[in-house]
Amino acid sequence: MYPFAFTKASDTREALNAGRRGGRYIAGGTTLVDLMRETVERPDSLVDISGLPLREVTVTERGGLRIGTLVTMSEAAAHAKVRALYPVVSEALELSASAQLRNMATIGGNIMQRTRCTYFRDVTADCNKREPGSGCAALHGHNRTHAILGTSDACVATHPSDAAVAFAALEARVHLLGPDGARQVSLADFLLRPGSTPQREQALSEGELITAVEIPALPRPLRSGYLKVRDRQSYEFALTSAAVALHVRGGVIREARVAAGGVGTVPWKLPAVEQHLVGERPSGALWAAAAAKAADGARPLQHNRFKAELLERTVERQLRVVGGTE
């Protein structure tokens, strides 16, 4: 590990000043410290923000939910309001990592975490995300776990967060605070597809700090849930996953929110699936027809062609579970 300066911020202003000078924010450190040990990340300065007052989960005036950036994954998953209003978030968090990591990792850090692509984490391999212009070893290497949606010629790495898939389905917004003040951005705009600049992963300005993730109020009753398909049942990243939320009234689906994980360079919203569901009555045939659109636009690689069909099956299964016909 290379030498670095370490500062513990006593308040938000101190944190922002240090961030503006190039300091990297750290809270639980469950991702950043690993990357520093592997010399993938070599920050000159770290700013510990774990003491900032950003640990609350609150119901918004309109009935949504705001989760502070420093709320741990375990705390968010167990929170009564999260479990009651948006079980898809609780389930996604509980299916993430290990209990020990969930006790340390924060909500803000979770959506900021970097890919688990083995070539990104191997400093001897070509990786445009780690070293722009060096190439992408995954394109013609072992790419079984890589993305089939949102890829580019520069990068095919998947986004690893489960919680971010649930947030994407629910169309959450990210609250940011920086030297120029506070602003909000949708999660869909906050997490960036690789394009020709895979090294830029979030729409953050210099020195900006995530303060909260806000889930908007959605019509009730709302049923939701998260399904994760992986090579083993614990401590493993998704091959595919599906976050589903359905508002059914009078026997008709009035609203549908669906997103997928494990298959995209960012958490992948599935608008074609959602549009096929709205206005229809729940049925096995409907779930199958809607799920058949889940892999639209996919660009499979040599070793991950199975993901397109697996994604369709994952989405169909979770539609059945949440829709009440499973």
d(CA 299, CA 301): 7
**Nearest alpha carbon to residue 112 among 226, 46, 29:** 29
pLDDT of 292 above 60: yes
The string of DSSP letters for 60-86 reads: -TTS-EEEETTSBHHHHHH-HHHHHH-
Average pLDDT over residues 308-314: 98
| Residues 7-21: tens digit of each pLDDT | 999 999 999 999 999
Helices (H), ranges, 262-304: 271-277, 284-291
CB atoms within 10 A of CB 65: 25
**Nearest alpha carbon to residue 114 among 70, 71, 166, 164:** 164
Q: What is the pTM of this model?
A: 0.97
- Structural domains of the chain in order of their starting residue, each with its CATH number: 1-52 (3.30.43.10), 222-323 (3.30.390.50)
d(CA 105, CA 93): 11
d(CA 163, CA 91): 9
| Beta-carbon contacts of residue 95 (< 8 Å; ≥ 6 apart) | 162, 226, 228
| Residues 183-222: tens digit of each pLDDT | 999 999 999 999 999 999 999 999 999 999 999 999 999 9
Average pLDDT over residues 16-41: 94
pLDDT of residue 27: 97
According to DSSP, the β-strands at 252-261 and 240-249 are antiparallel
| Residues 85-121: tens digit of each pLDDT | 999 999 999 999 999 999 999 999 999 999 999 999 9
pLDDT of 326 above 60: no
CA 62 to chain CA centroid, Å, is 24
CA 211 to chain CA centroid, Å, is 16
pLDDT of residue 235: 86
* Residue 118 and residue 160 in contact, taking contact as beta carbons nearer than 8 Å: no
Q: Residue 234's pLDDT band (boundaries 50, 70, 90)? A: confident
pLDDT of residue 324: 84
CA 269 to chain CA centroid, Å, is 11
pLDDT of residue 52: 97
| Residues 43-93: tens digit of each pLDDT | 999 999 999 999 999 999 999 999 999 999 999 999 999 999 999 999 999
d(CA 231, CA 212): 32
d(CA 57, CA 72): 11
pLDDT of 230 above 70: yes
